[in-house]
Each structure stands twice: as C-alpha cells, then as structure tokens.
Amino acid sequence: MKRFLFLLAMLCIGGLQGENLLIEAESLPTPGKWQLGTAGAASQRTFVEAREKNAVASGHFCFETPGTYYVWVRNMSFSESWRRATVAIDGRKASSVGDEKTTLDTPAWIWSKSKRPLIVAKGEHKVELFADAANARIDAILLTTDKNYAPEEGKMLPEGSFRRLLPTDVSALKGKLEIGIACDKPAIAYRCGETITFRLAPRCDGKPLTAGKIRYCLRGDDGKSTSGEFQLTEKTNSFTLQTTLDRPGFCRLTCDLVDDKGELLQSVDAAGRAYQAHFDGGAGAEIDRIPACPEPADFDAFWTAQKARLEAVPMVATVQKIDSHSDAEFTTYAIEINCAGNRPATGFLIMPNGAAEKTLKAEVHFDGYGIGFPAIPGAHRRKAGKMVFFVNAHGAPLKATREEYVQFFAERKNYALTGNETPEKCYFLNMVLRDLRATQYLVSRPEWNGVDLEVVGGSQGGLQSLWMAALEPRVSQCSVEVPWNCNIGGRTLGLMAPDWGIREYTPALGYFDAANHAKRIACRVDVSRAGLGDYTCPPSGIARMYYNLACPKSIKWYQNSNHSKVPENPEIFVVEGNEMK
C-alpha cells in the first residue's frame, strides 16, 4: 500500500510539473557496438548507429521531477523491423519503436512514441538504449510527463521547450572534446614497408588534455594488429604511433578517450552539447596495387545474355500522376514498368512541366541498402531542366496496405546475405534488370536531350550507379558516394573484412562486383566521399574499384570518416585520375 501511495503521489506531482527532458543519443557512452554518424537534419548534426542487433548504450541521469514519463525516440524511419530501438530506465523497458510509416521523404528523421510509459522517481537513474535491429539510427530520446505532447514529425523540438539531460557518470570536462590525429604525410601516399606515423593530440576546447588515457587499436590489410593505451599527464599529452604495411592496402586506427577506470570521457560545451572523442580512420600504402578478386571468365557473356533477356520483354509503362506532389512547375508520377525477372521496375519520376522534346537532362537516382516504405520525393528533389527518376531497388509496389508492405519486407529480409550460390539465384540479378529497365525507360521519353544521363547514389545506390554506368552505354556521368560491394571477396585475399556482417563469399558475387564493372565504364566517374574508417564499404575495395576505372575519374578520401560520419572540417585527400592533387 505504501508503494502504491508513493507511485500515486509521483503521478500527481508529474502531472502538475510537466517536464520535457531531452537526451541526445550521442551523449550516451557508446562503446563498441554503436558508432557516431552525422547528418544535417539530426540534432546537433550527430546521431548514433548500431552496428549490430542488441547493441547497448547507457548512462546515468538525474531526474528532478518524479512521475510517469512517456517515451519518444527520434529515429531514422526506413522500413519494417529496421531502425528499431528500445529505451529502458533502471532495467524497465518501454516498448520498441521505430517502424512507423512516415509521411515525409525517405529517409527521414521522425519521432516514434513508445506504447509503454515508464514511472520514474526523483533522483539518479540508469537510462539504456537498445538496438533491436542492426543499422538502427537514433538521434535523440524525449521523456515527457505530458501524455498528450506530440513532437512535430520530421522536426527537432523547438529550443526552450525542453530541458537537456546530460549523463552524471561521465567526465566534467567543459568544452569540445576531440582527438587531433595527423599523419606525417598524406595518408594515402605511403609505400609498402615505409613507416606510417600517426600523431595523436587530444584536446578540449583546443587545450591539451592532462588526464585520462587514449585507448587505441591498429589493424592492417597485411594482417598485423596491435592495441594499447597512452596515459595522459601534464607533461605528456601527445603521442606518436607508428606502423608499416607489408603489402598494398590500408591500416585502420580507432581511438577513444577514457578515464582511469576505462569509462569513455565526455565533455559539455557552453550550449549544453555533449562530445565524445572517437577517431576511426587510417592510412594506405600503394593503394593502386591492392589485390583483386578473380573476375568470372564469362562475365561479359553473362551480361550480354541478361541484357538480351531484358530486351525480349517489350517496354510497357504505367504512368500515374500524383496530384498531391504536382503543381504549375513540376509534376510527379508513380511509374511501373514491366521487366524481365520477378518484379517490375517501379519508382517516382519528377518532371518540369511543359518541356519540349529533346530539352531535358536525365538523372536516375538509387537509394542505399534497405527495404523501406516507398515515399514520394518532396519538392526539394526537383531540378530545373532535368527529369529525375527515383528507382525502387526492389520493384516494390508504390501503393499497398501496411500489411502487404510488411509481407513484402519479410520476404526480402537479409537479401544481400542469401541466394548467392549462382548468379541466377543472386538477389542482385533482378535488381540489375530493374535498374536497367528504369534507366532505359527514362531515356526513351521524348523530353530527353539525347546527351545528358547521370546515375547517382550512395552505398548500395553507388553500387547500382556503377552497374548502370557499365551496362548502359548512354550514361554520361556517374556520381557516387561510399559505393558498396567493391572487391566483394577482399577478405579471402587477406584484406580486412567489413564489420557490418560476414557473408560467405561465392564466385557468383563476382558478376555483381563493382570493381569488375568498373573496367567496363567509359563515362566520367566521381566518388564524392570514401571514408578511411568506413568498414561497411572498406577502403581497400573502393580503391580497387577506383583504380580499375580507365575513364575520367576523381575520388575524395575523408580521414576519420566511417560510412555515416563526416567530421567537421575533415581532412580530405583528392585524387584526380591517378594523381593526388
């Protein structure tokens, strides 16, 4: 009875003293299983991304107002059973959130409400964030005592409408925490056997740190690995770390700042923003000579046969205007085109109104990995003088019930990891056919100027763009970022494996390897970002793909950049053709 009265009192107090408490996801100590990412639409430009299911981040926070707290999570809405996460307080879990269908563009940051509130007493409590699926992307957690409060979809909370909570169990450093790491020469310009020197200088608001430790791990494509710690003192607050690469490839350096107990250090600046200092980058030696996986002997014959299959299916398109996304200047259409394989090509086309024949440039846009709800592109996707086709990688229906989409997603779960025994069974084969059919449809329209055809995408979208640049000779420009599946079987050659999950390498995957397709590309290719710390799309694979290109080309290598994170003021190494600028 006493406990019941206590809880009742807390509920009453919470109702009288409404609280909106915001926890930035990146303020939770995130060892190992989560990594930092950056996005302009994320609060403070930073979010956390789970590298595997069951990743946990946790911290202790002080609650001044007891009561029943309703839990909202700002997550990247993408698809059913993807991006899901659970918040817990003192081990009591709210219900999992993150699979809502957004009305905004895909991908989009949305607020997802847990169906189960949590009762919290005044005082310090442990808050945990659990990833219920790999690739969950979380920006912020809102805990509110107002049952009816609902953040605006796609928007951050207005300043002044919340109180930001910061962990009580991290360092009390004031200012911006960072690890300054630089090589003694451009990081991609080393020779095999040459000493690679990293200079490590941790700072807080630009001033040297005098306490704590730098915890590091250094691995290489030559198989060497070492790890350790450097102790910071008033006299010793910068360090040198050296290695060599005995074969062409990259080394990967990861560093964190920790206290003497091994807990991650954190700082808070004057605006209440929280920082952890994590470095994930590296260096390369003779990266133009990285070994390549064997190419299938019948690669060209296989693709000639597949293109013939596609050509044997007459192109018939269903085109439906979407009135809600059309106006006097642009019209948006839902497109479905019959195709060889198991699904039609589908997507959304944005067209400037009133374009005469042969006046418009063409762009085909491909998205990254996933099986998300098809979302109609917003007005910011419009481009003057250009028609843009947003192609769905899976040929998903553009109008279906939620139940139908859930079933569609379930049938394609882990699609990149299965069915790779033969090229005909590989999931990517039908994706290529759909991409080709969509590209061919776009240039069949009378408005195309007959010259300009650009393919664009990042990650899986970059892979699809490279496929199209190799297989469709009318492509005039290929623009990609962190392209996926380059030198797919690199780990069988001793190169560092991707850390998103290991799939068994089979020769069948060679037909879809971007490094093999790169040899057949004649148009210009620009890689706008490749991360030296990206082990979703390892730099060794991207380098092999890049140096297989015999066309006009450029690439930008970003230091301390993983698949999602782009640091402020990044160190960038630009290569034009085969020469570093």
Which residues on adjacent β-strands are paired with residue 275? Answer: 267
d(CA 212, CA 508): 49
- pLDDT of 240 reads 96
* Type of residue found at 533: G
pLDDT for 49 beyond 50 = yes
pLDDT for 18 beyond 80 = no
Q: What is the pTM of this model?
A: 0.88
Model confidence pLDDT, tens digit, residues 323-352 = 999 999 999 999 999 999 999 999 999 999
d(CA 336, CA 399): 11
d(CA 511, CA 297): 10
Please list, in sequence order, all residues whose beta carbon lies within 8 angstroms of the beta carbon of residue 109, skipping any fewer than 6 positions away.
39, 41, 42, 74, 75, 76, 77, 139, 154
Please give the average per-residue pLDDT across 489-502, as a whole number: 86
d(CA 318, CA 337): 6
- pLDDT of 78 reads 56
**Are the beta carbons of 74 and 22 closer than 8 angstroms?**
no
pLDDT for 530 beyond 80 = yes
Give the whole-number percent of the chain exceeding pLDDT 70. Answer: 91
Helix H or strand E encompassing 262? none
pLDDT for 6 beyond 70 = no
| Domains of the chain (ranges, CATH numbers) | 2-169 (2.60.120.260), 174-289 (2.60.40.1930), 299-580 (3.40.50.1820)
- pLDDT of 304 reads 98
Please give the average per-residue pLDDT across 240-259, as a whole number: 96
Q: What angle do CA 182, 281, 213 make, to 5 degrees?
A: 70
pLDDT band at 110 (very low <50, low <70, confident <90, very high): confident
Backbone φ, ψ for residue 298 (5° rounding): -105, 30
Per mean pLDDT, which range of 24-28, 333-337, 440-444 is the poorest? Answer: 24-28
Instruction: Please give the structure tokens belonging to residue 551.
Output: 């066309």
- pLDDT of 17 reads 46
**Are the beta carbons of 508 and 423 closer than 8 angstroms?**
yes
Letter string b/e over residues 91-120, b meaning 16 or more CB atoms within 10 A of that residue's CB: eeebebbbbbebeeebbbbbbbbbeebbbb
pLDDT band at 153 (very low <50, low <70, confident <90, very high): confident
Between the alpha carbon of residue 355 and those of residues 125, 334, 360, 461, 552, the distances in Å are: 61, 19, 7, 28, 31
Please list, in sequence order, all residues whose beta carbon lies within 8 angstroms of the beta carbon of residue 8, skipping any fewer than 6 positions away.
none
Look up tokens 């909106």; give the residue.
20
First to last CA, the chain: 75
d(CA 366, CA 344): 16
**Are the beta carbons of 98 and 35 closer than 8 angstroms?**
no
The angle, 0 to 180 degrees and rounded to 10, between the axes of the packed helices 460-471 and 427-444 is: 60
**Are the beta carbons of 213 and 302 closer than 8 angstroms?**
no
pLDDT for 171 beyond 70 = no
d(CA 49, CA 136): 6
- pLDDT of 267 reads 81
DSSP state of 264: B
pLDDT for 3 beyond 50 = no
Q: What angle do CA 505, 509, 511 make, to 5 degrees?
A: 155
Concatenate the DSSP letters of all residues of 474-533 into one string: T--EEEEES-S-SSTTGGGGTPPPPSS------GGGGGG-HHHHHTT--SEEEEEEEETT
pLDDT band at 57 (very low <50, low <70, confident <90, very high): confident
pLDDT for 278 beyond 80 = yes
pLDDT for 94 beyond 80 = yes
pLDDT band at 272 (very low <50, low <70, confident <90, very high): low
- pLDDT of 29 reads 64
pLDDT for 152 beyond 50 = yes
Instruction: Please give the structure tokens belonging to residue 25.
Output: 């996801």
Instruction: Please give the structure tokens belonging to residue 156.
Output: 């951050």
Per mean pLDDT, which range of 2-11, 188-197, 437-446 is the poorest? Answer: 2-11
pLDDT band at 311 (very low <50, low <70, confident <90, very high): very high
pLDDT for 295 beyond 80 = yes
Q: Which has the closest alpha carbon to 85: 124, 122, 30?
A: 30
Between the alpha carbon of residue 367 and those of residues 83, 299, 502, the distances in Å are: 16, 25, 22
Maximum mean pLDDT: which of 9-13, 51-55, 431-435: 431-435
- pLDDT of 32 reads 52
Average model confidence (pLDDT) across the chain: 89
pLDDT for 41 beyond 60 = yes
Instruction: Please give the structure tokens belonging to residue 573.
Output: 């190494």
- pLDDT of 80 reads 44
Instruction: Please give the structure tokens belonging to residue 401.
Output: 């019930």
